[in-house]
Amino acid sequence: MENPKSKINKNVFLTGFTSFFTDISSEMIYPILPFFLRSVLGATPALIGIIEGIAESTAALSKTYFGKIADKINRYKEMAIIGYLFSAASKILLLFANAWGIVLGARFLDRVGKGIRTSPRDIIISESVQKEKRGMAFGIQRSMDFFGAFLGVLASYFIIKFFVSNQATVKLYKNIFMFSLIPAFIGVIFLFFIIIPKTLKDLKKQENTAKTKALNKKLKLFLLGTIIFALGNSSNQFLLLRSQDIGFTLLNAILLYLIYNVTSSIFSPIFGSLSDKLGKKTVIITGYSLYAVVYLSFGIFSKIWLYPIIWFLYGIYSAMTEGVEKALVSDLSLKENRGFSLGLFSTIVGIGVLPASLIAGILYTFVGAYAPFLLGGILSILSIAVIAFI
């Protein structure tokens, strides 16, 4: 039997602090990367879509594999540490980026690290609390993640504001890449203090050759809905490009991304806790519905004053879904293959990023900036219809 915990385990906060510092690092870079690729390295939106699609699909494909490995060898803590170290090391490559291929290499290494760490980290969180508190636990972890992202974007904003008047653009970007290394390596330290839950220590090391057969029908239906959703959920970098194209400067576009992250940080634990009471499926469907409204708004509207509101609603959507989805997958999976199930979920969600970003880049370049967002809104409505049958 699982050993229930009466309160949130410290492992949740330790993994949260790792996510906090890692996202400070990552989000110092992420919102400026499309502008660096386009203005400095000459990449087109279509090429940016290819880079992001390859990077995110790499993470997606590797999550199931490493989730299965984690279940087999019971080395969740060690794998999480290695994964976060990979992501920290990827930032070093960006310091030498003078062509888009190097940026692709850095994104690839970062996403491999994400593939290694995600399932082991998530199963540690899942097994550190009782089932009735998983929504809250994942909500706390996501909140700390988003708050780190908020501070990372804020740091990027002030670095740009400080350096932009007296340094060349290339040097400006390289300064941000350099500063991002500090929180990246700090974040790894917290993982060394994790104490693996007894339920994972006692789990027999075994190789299940029919993992997919162990997935129940409800989980399979949810995974089908999320793959439909993922096919329209292209990289956030297209949202940033769209914002810039309607009139926002680089600095103001970063402020919009700041609104998204701080909103997600504040509301993630709230909706995580709410999902434990109202039902995770209900909260997820509501979040997907809001996503449809947000993406259709990006496609239809070009009024500058509307965009802070749209980015705020986008943050609410993330708070309602990102942690709650993992909590639902944990509830619907067996303990013996929970790492595999969480990895498979992340893979199915992420595998859509390559075609989604490729399609978004092509539509953005050759049809119009509105096109990829209309597609995303339509596919999210279709995914809701599937998940409603669970």
* Mean pLDDT taken over the chain: 83
> Is the confidence at residue 258, as pLDDT, over 90?
no
Q: Is the predicted pLDDT of residue 4 greater than 70, yes or no?
A: no
- For residue range 34-83, what is the model confidence (pLDDT) as tens digits? 888 887 888 877 788 788 777 777 777 777 778 778 777 778 899 999 99
Query: Could you give the CA distance from residue 4 to residue 219 in angstroms, rounded to a whole number?
Result: 23
Residue 61 lies in a domain: yes
Q: What is the reported pLDDT for 210?
A: 41
CATH number at residue 83: 1.20.1250.20
Tens of pLDDT along 92-147? 988 888 888 888 889 888 888 988 888 889 888 888 888 788 888 888 888 898 88
Give the model's pLDDT for residue 236: 83
Structural domain contains residue 6: no
Overall number of domains in the chain: 1
Residues 6+ apart with CB under 8 A from 142: 19, 264, 268, 269, 272, 319, 322, 323
Confidence of residue 283 (pLDDT cuts 50, 70, 90): very high
Query: Nearest 5 degrees, angle CA 98-CA 100-CA 106?
Result: 90
**205 has pLDDT over 70:** no
279 domain residue, yes or no: yes
Residue 207 domain flag: no
Report whether pLDDT(315) > 60.
yes
Q: Is residue 146 a part of any domain in this protein? A: yes
Residue 213: count of CB within 10 angstroms of its CB: 7
Inform me whether the pLDDT recorded for 163 exceeds 70: no
What band does 154 get if pLDDT is binned at 50, 70 and 90?
A: confident
Q: Within a domain: residue 43?
A: yes
Does residue 233 fall inside a structural domain?
yes
Is 297's pLDDT higher than 80?
yes
Write out 249-310 in H/E/C secondary structure.
Answer: CHHHHHHHHHHHHHHHHHHHHHHHHHHHHHCHHHHHHHHHHHHHHHHHHHHHCCCHHHHHHH
pLDDT of residue 214: 56
Residue 311 pLDDT greater than 90, yes or no = yes
**DSSP, res 204:** P
Q: In the structure, what pLDDT confidence band is assigned to residue 312 with cuts at 50, 70 and 90?
A: very high
pLDDT of amino acid 85: 94
Between 290 and 329, the more confident residue is: 290
Cα separation of 104 and 188, whole Å?
23
Q: How confident is the model at residue 265 (pLDDT cuts 50, 70, 90)?
A: confident
User: Is 200 part of any domain?
Assistant: no
The yes-or-no verdict on residue 231 having pLDDT over 80 is yes
Query: Which is nearest to 262 in space by CA: 148, 147, 145?
Result: 147
Domain that residue 353 falls in: 11-193+212-387
Q: What is the pTM of this model?
A: 0.72
Between the CA atoms of 348, 149, 83 and 94, what dihedral angle is there, to the nearest 10 degrees? Answer: 100
Tell me the C-alpha distance between 387 and 383, whole Å. Answer: 6
Q: How confident is the model at residue 201 (pLDDT cuts 50, 70, 90)?
A: low
Mean pLDDT, rounded, for 212-228? 78
Helix/strand/coil for 321: helix
Establish how many alpha carbons lie within 13 A of residue 316's alpha carbon, considering only the half-sphere containing its beta carbon: 17
What is the arithmetic mean of pLDDT over 168-196? Answer: 87
Confidence of residue 208 (pLDDT cuts 50, 70, 90): very low
